[in-house]
Amino acid sequence: MSIALNETHDPALTSWVAAANAPECDFPIQNLPFAVFRRAGTGEDFRAGVAIGDQVFDLGAAAGAGVFANHDAATQAAAAACRHAALNALMALGPVAWSALRLALSRMLRHGAPEHAALERFLVPQSAAEFTLPAHIGDYTDFYTSIHHATAVGRLFRPDEPLLPNYKWVPIGYHGRASSIGVSGQSFPRPQGQTRVPGAAAPSFGPARRLDYELELGLFIGPGNDQGLPIPVAEAERHVFGLCLLNDWSARDLQAWEYQPLGPFLAKNFATTISPWIVTLEALAPYRAAWTRPADDPAPLPYLDAPDLRSAGALDISLEVLLETAAMRAAGQPPARLSVSNFRHSYWTIAQLVAHHTVNGCNLRAGDLLGSGTQSGPQPEEAGSLLELTVGGKQGLTLPNGEQRTFLEDGDAVILRGWCAGEGKPRIGFGICRGEIRQTSLHG
């Protein structure tokens, strides 16, 4: 299941792109995440690129110029797929092709590479790039993998039974809306819908007043499966291209009125924001961790269990939420950190999500997106949503500039960050995922 370490993970590697060698750089040569971009302000076609330091290595242009012509067939196929305006074709090729391309790029971009001078022309500053969704997302499923989030939210609405009895047995999920997924920089108006004040005889219609974010990771599917043929848990990660940051915006007052009996609808489908960069599972290999559960919790059913899952099924990924208000922007103040959590706290693993999603015969396709669900840690300050941080809106947060928040206001921007770091290991970052609520009238 887990990917073995190889020469691309060597922490001693450096790049001839100087910015990639800075200690706090999200994109060293050991990372090489993928995105789809073009030069900002141009009518160029979108194509694939790889982050290296503060630059984008233009894979589409490099492939078109024959840079990979003398490489093996797997590398050539992967490079050719990078000329498209979405990564679906690359995702569909599978881990052999992904790994071959990663190795070729690692060798080309290393300090001392003979190709250095010839490849400099394929660098585009990230500050001069415009990004779009990295794939055509056919379907989007959101899971609920943090037991800490599920328990905290359940305690607000069901004090006598905060965690429903199926939670420890089955990865809970629902099908979301792919059409409103946007890349970092997405902005949207405050959603409207029905809400009902407790004790009221009838609902009212209007803008949501309890607008929230959810700190999540997104999983992009690589090769799919035929309908009726489940993906075994031991093979599931071969079907995952990589991970991105994901903000599953949520209108909590709409959600409270609509979610029974069929779950979220208008409370979730108005916007979802993802980061432009997809970090491959191979890049994350140094940050594998054991997947554990409390001894008195039920063991997963056999289709959700495997030896490698227990030894290395988790990932040590730090996740951070920052809030930038309109007043902060106007005053030139930095955004305020709201919380930091970690994906290793997840109750269910990547492999289990894929195995469960397909066990009934459901067919996944390259470019499908799975959300991890809100990633909250065991401590209150590790909460991945305002719903938890403010205890359902009962305890307001005071920001460094003196502003108060219980839920999001118009003009607020939420910024997610993610990274892996450890002694003797390269930093593997995800960049940022930024989304903003446009300033409109609450009465409009």
Catalytic residues: 149
For residue 336, give the H/E element and its range. strand 336-342
Closest CA to 384 of 217, 270, 272: 217
Closest CA to 194 of 277, 258, 130, 117: 258
> Exposure of 126 by Cβ count < 10 A (0-12 exposed, 13-18 middle, 19+ buried)?
buried
What is the token pair recorded at 436?
């903003």
Tell me the DSSP string of 357-375.
HHTTSPPP-TT-EEE----
Q: Which residues contact 167 (CB under 8 A, 6 or more apart)?
A: 144, 147, 150, 347
What DSSP state is assigned to residue 85?
Answer: S
Structural contact between residues 258 and 267, judged by C-beta atoms closer than 8 angstroms: yes
Q: Closest Cα partner for 255 from 442, 112, 148, 386? A: 386
The two structure tokens encoding residue 6: 């190889």
CA distance 263 to 257: 10
Residues whose CB falls within 8 Å of the CB of residue 289, separated by 6 or more in sequence, listed in order = 312, 314, 315, 316, 344
